[in-house]
Structure 1
């Protein structure tokens, strides 16, 4: 358990939150809160930075979105895209079309990053197995080379940096696979979005990764897992979506990893970093996110952030 006693200021860490912390996983879903409520409540919670979330959830007209965010004192740190680049050249054009839509909006909103999430090997909503959970050597080569191409093109055309997000039920998940991916890609083109919850879910140590691969850490997602629920999820082989519904991702500081040491390690890197709170809660009751968000923001302030 992390102490709530005040900690030294984390001056290089820019704290924010995301639609994910309001139970938003899809552009449109009857179980999700309206986007206006998300914006109202994230501002009420004391955050000034947000991510765009799934493309189409927030308004995609930059003029409208700028007006809506500005009057609430909010700014955008990143957009998010989903990719399946291990499938090779056959998916490139479709992937780029999806990326370009997101990048146009992110750029227009003044964002600096594009969070890239690998495609799931089993469906995040139903748990249906879509493909093998391990990649062939050829698929690893395609994943690395096409991610580098994506990083270069996004930078050249939109001025954004991609940050690849290791994620449960994808092929970039465990320490072994994250390190393999980092070692296979150009550090100038590909950085990492370290999600502390997903990395712990898959057995990784966030502080160790920051200390070992600090120059590759370009962005943070702050999240914790409940160790008891995680043990049950692992024992039963529960897919990620149902595991989230079970409460595997929990409100800090009730889970692991301790976020204070993670933030301290990130501060020591000596670079400006976004640290965006993402507590997976899909689905959740509409009134649940706001009080959690307010408590989480207060907790992070006690850590110095």
Structure 2
């Protein structure tokens, strides 16, 4: 999806990896870690690209943000990524995808911005992602970080408070938290 997204050369991959590691060292001096956010329309969008970045970087210096919505939107398997990189995941974005809108986005070859405006994203429990297995893998891996619920939606169409409550109820149902 998104044929116009950047595709890095070998030299660009090395530059990205070394730059992230340098940032990781600076962050470590301050008692922090950096967390890389894979994202639609960027050079690190697909499973292969995430695997390459994780292979090229030191796990002690570069962690991974796990974004369910971006993975599913780009046709990737979030459970695979989660299982493979559980030890490196330091932050989680919970974003769901509306199946019917995603199909239209693909059929009409919409841009990412057009997809957002069309309502492709929603809160957990309102889309196509089954979070049960994902929460299980996170628990098994000992994840203790933040869950950030995201849903790029028009607030005139999707009332933020109503959707926040919907997401909270779904997460409680799936996790018991």
Name the count of aligned residue pairs. Answer: 175
The DSSP-based 3-state class of the residue aligned with 1:210 is helix
CA distance in 2, matches of 1:254, 1:271: 24
**Within 5 Å, which residues of 2 pair with 1:55-74?**
none
Q: Is the contact made by 2:97 and 2:120 (CA closer than 8 Å) also made in structure 1?
A: yes
CA distance in 2, matches of 1:235, 1:145: 38
The DSSP-based 3-state class of the residue aligned with 1:254 is coil
1:284 to 155, 163, 167: 155
CA distance in 1, matches of 2:149, 2:140: 20
Q: Is residue 296 of structure 1 aligned with residue 167 of structure 2?
A: yes
- Give per-residue Cα distances to partners, 1:123-172, cap 9 Å, x unaligned: xxxxxx7xx62111111111111011111112213x22111111111111
1:150 to 23, 40, 45: 23
Q: Is residue 138 of structure 1 aligned with residue 5 of structure 2?
A: no
- Give per-residue Cα distances to partners, 1:51-74, cap 9 Å, x unaligned: xxxxxxxxxxxxxxxxxxxxxxxx
Q: Is residue 187 of structure 1 aligned with residue 59 of structure 2?
A: yes
CA distance in 2, matches of 1:138, 1:287: 43
Higher relative contact order (CA 8 A, sep 6+): 1
Q: Is residue 267 of structure 1 aligned with residue 134 of structure 2?
A: no
Q: How far 1:251 moved relative to its partner?
A: 3.2
Normalising by structure 2, what TM-score?
0.90
Q: Is residue 172 of structure 1 aligned with residue 50 of structure 2?
A: no
Report the aligned-residue RMSD: 2.0
CA distance in 2, matches of 1:193, 1:273: 11
CA distance in 2, matches of 1:228, 1:248: 8
Q: How far 1:254 moved relative to its partner?
A: 2.8
Q: Is the contact made by 2:36 and 2:63 (CA closer than 8 Å) also made in structure 1?
A: yes
Q: Is residue 204 of structure 1 aligned with residue 76 of structure 2?
A: yes
Normalising by structure 1, what TM-score?
0.54
Q: Is residue 162 of structure 1 aligned with residue 34 of structure 2?
A: yes
Q: How far 1:301 moved relative to its partner?
A: 0.8
CA distance in 1, matches of 2:21, 2:140: 27
CA distance in 2, matches of 1:286, 1:254: 14
The DSSP-based 3-state class of the residue aligned with 1:172 is coil
- Any unmatched runs of 5+ in structure 2? none
- Give per-residue Cα distances to partners, 1:84-132, cap 9 Å, x unaligned: xxxxxxxxxxxxxxxxxxxxxxxxxxxxxxxxxxxxx99xxxxxx7xx6
Q: How far 1:241 moved relative to its partner?
A: 1.4
CA distance in 2, matches of 1:239, 1:287: 21
Q: Is the contact made by 1:175 and 1:203 (CA closer than 8 Å) also made in structure 2?
A: no
Q: Which has the higher helix share?
A: 2
1:246 to 99, 109, 118: 118
